[in-house]
Amino acid sequence: MNPLLECVPNFSEGQNNETIKAIAQEIRKIKGVELLHIDSGMAANRTVYTFIGKPESVIEAAYQSIKLSSKLIDMRTQIGEHPRMGACDVCPLIPISGISMEEAVILSYQLAKRVNSTLNIPIYLYEESAQVTERKHLANIRKGEYEGLAEKMTQPNWQPDYGDKFNAKSGATIIGARNYLIAFNFNLNTSDVSIAKWIASSIRESGKNVTDASGNSVKVPGLFKDLKAIGWFIKDFGIAQVSCNFSNYKETELHEVYEAITLLAHQKGVKVTGSELIGLIPKEALLAAAMYFDSTETDETKLIDIAIDRLGLSDLNDFLPKSRIIDYMV
């Protein structure tokens, strides 16, 4: 089996079309790589690229795209709704077939070292590549975002894994090998972001801090394992969203979270109008949701249509399975 590695770098630019196109072209230049999808958000000011190919080619494409972003994106003036630390904010490597997670981790170290040594961009390692437990989760590393990065780098526990000098223009990049992640946003029929934030804190694994009867702050875990969630307002559509990352979609499934958010939203007097996929999704994740909603259907095409309809995946933009389901594209 020919080894296939996927890379899903997130760049802190979703408004300048010339920059977005230039990064895409830089990825396409590399032989042995297929750029599968580009997902940009104006309000988030962020673009997610999904490409796949031979491991050595994917690493080269990742490096070249990060290099170009360091020239085109200036974090000193970048503003957006999405949390971020750098021009290339995060660059995950995902083993698809014929390559082990251990091999992907080694490649992440090679990429991290090269980016730091040649571009002077400090690197934090996360997920399976993390050297310390606190850095396994992306949100822990990104806390404080770009604005707090210079000070954070001076803290003994938060010095980068590669590099020790603050890069004012490019910020820092987070690199690591991880399992397949689904980025999935749930749309609410309200602009009240406090409701979205309350729902997010109720469902995410890390939960929220509450004050007990004695006045002490106590951490209350959320409803779902392997789920990260934040609430935000999307100016593009004038709505609040619960933005979720499913780091293990087989452990915590789409329909489970959809149903929970629907119930929590109802408690606040609002509704879930639909959802939005960022990037691509494995077919089995949608099939599992469809079979939850309709256990009698067996035809795959009809099941996909059921999932799209019941999850409201065409609420904001038309959802086209052939260009959003990774199994069909690969």
Q: Is the Cβ–Cβ distance between 237 and 204 less than 8 Å?
A: no
In this structure, what DSSP letter does residue 86 have? B
Residue 197: what residue type? K
| Residue 70 phi, psi (nearest 5) | -70, -20
Rounded Cα–Cα distance for residues 223 and 115 (Å):
38
Q: What is the largest CA-CA distance in the chain?
A: 62
The residues near 323 (Cβ < 8 Å, ≥ 6 apart) are 37, 329
The residues near 226 (Cβ < 8 Å, ≥ 6 apart) are 205, 246, 247, 248, 251, 252
Among the listed residues 37, 82, 255, 266, the single catalytic one is 82
Residue 210: what residue type? V
Residue 58: what residue type? V
Rounded Cα–Cα distance for residues 301 and 204 (Å):
31
**Is 255 among the catalytic positions?**
no
Query: If residue 176 lies in a helix (H) or strand (E), which one and from where to where?
Result: strand 173-177
Instruction: Give catalytic residues, as residue numbers.
Output: 82
